[in-house]
Amino acid sequence: MSTNQAPCPLSYAFDALMLPPGVSIEKTKRSKMTYTCKLCGACFARNSNVKRHVKEVHVNLRIYECEHCFSDFSTKRNLLRHKQAVHEKKKPWSCDECDYQGQEQWILNSHKRRKH
């Protein structure tokens, strides 16, 4: 194996973000499990944590994270819909002509078109 490591794909994502002038770009990885924010040097165990940190702290993007599967959502509504559909298995759209329930309105509508 050569000592040249393949560039981390995340580096490119970060470089695409606006770097304030004078900020040094840290490439330090203390171990394979340590990911460093290039903007402030904070260390994280997971690269998804760095991604969220950069978005929240440096880009001021509000991220809503599902506590069950750590998916990110840009709006609280999307997170709630995801949690209800995936984790709570809630199917809020119920057919008024039978017992069928659907996760989304369009699913219920297609059920009605096919079955009734």
Footprint of Zn ion on this chain (CB under 5 A)?
A: 37, 39-40, 42, 66, 68-69, 71, 95, 97-98, 100
Burial class of residue 54 in the structure, from the number of CB atoms within 10 Å of its CB (0-12 exposed, 13-18 middle, 19+ buried): buried
Query: Where would I find the H helices in the chain?
Result: 9-16, 47-53, 76-82, 105-115
Q: 33 or 94: whose CB is closer to Zn ion?
A: 94
Q: Number of H helices and number of E strands within the chain?
A: 4, 6
CB of 68 to Zn ion, least distance (A): 4
Q: 17 or 40: whose CB is closer to Zn ion?
A: 40
Q: 6 or 109: whose CB is closer to Zn ion?
A: 109
CB of 2 to Zn ion, least distance (A): 30
CB of 65 to Zn ion, least distance (A): 9
**9 vs 15: CA distance, rounded Å:** 10
